[in-house]
Amino acid sequence: MHWQCRHRAIDLESPVVMGILNVTPDSFSDGGRWLGVDEAVERAAQMTAEGAAIIDVGGESSRPGSVGVDAVVERGRVVPVIERIAASLDVAISIDSSKLEVMTAAVAAGACIVNDINALRAPRAREWAAAAEVGVCLMHMRGEPRTMQEAPDYQDVVSEVGAFLSRERDACLAAGIAREAIALDPGLGFGKGYEHNLALLKNLGHLTALGAPLLIGVSRKSLIGRVLGRPPLGRLYGGLGVAALAASLGARIIRTHDVAPTLDAIRMVSTVLQGRTT
């Protein structure tokens, strides 16, 4: 299995790590740490050296209750960082955005993946992505970041999320995006309550059965905080447990703030499941 992202074919025979690089002042656990271009590029270099296959650059917080920024601000945050990473590091770059103007500028700067919490539903986004031959990740989110955690309700969260991802994947295929360019993300923590997140994690096999690479992002999220009673920066070990579980159930891309330990965890899982002896 591979993920075709413009000029890169990312090997997903074993799970890979996507390192989170938030160039925002208000992300929930690391807001403001990587606002400067030099600091952001240094952080990208560190994550690449630790084994990240992808650096996911975001210029707008999507934490619960966050307020969006306009495309000019978001573009100004991400484009200089992407340009520098593309010029200095051999790593796939993803743009975490739902705005077509930002996606376009980011890909022109060197990104090869669009990671969209809104599943490429902006006008003309799918047609542009098809023409640009970018890799795309389609995420499920009910509502919008500002309001998504206000009493989310599902009859059967696993079936409903699966149906959404299947439908949006089919719409992307109809727009001309290649099947091998599409990954899916159930959107843990995005318009889901505690029980919904647990049900999705327990039943990831139902989502991997859709036949597309599955991306999972739970790094430092409130689900871990609720179980363990720890603040965001104290949730590493809980996150490693979830990453290992997700990899064992078929997830192929693990999105995390903590690259090196997460990669260790999923490598161990892959080695056991693939029966390697060396």
Nearest to 211 by CA among 242, 173, 265, 243: 173
Q: What is the largest CA-CA distance in the chain?
A: 52
Q: Which helix (H) or strand (E) holds 94?
A: strand 92-96
Helix axes 157-174, 194-202, angle to 10 degrees: 70
Q: How far apart are CA 205 and CA 221, in angstroms?
A: 21
Q: How far apart are CA 82 and CA 134, in angstroms?
A: 15
Active site residue 8: no
Put the strands of the sheet holding 182-185 in their side by side order: 182-185, 135-139, 113-116, 92-96, 54-58, 16-22, 253-256, 215-217
43, 63, 221, 235: the catalytic one is 221
Q: How far apart are CA 40 and CA 212, in angstroms?
A: 31
Q: How far apart are CA 57 and CA 35, in angstroms?
A: 11
Judge whether 231 and 30 are in contact, CB under 8 Å. Answer: no
63, 84, 220, 255: the catalytic one is 255
Active site residue 192: no
Judge whether 74 and 116 are in contact, CB under 8 Å. Answer: no
Mention every residue, 6+ apart, whose C-beta is less than 8 A from residue 57. Answer: 21, 23, 40, 44, 78, 81, 82, 85, 93, 94, 95, 96, 106, 111
Active site residues: 221, 255
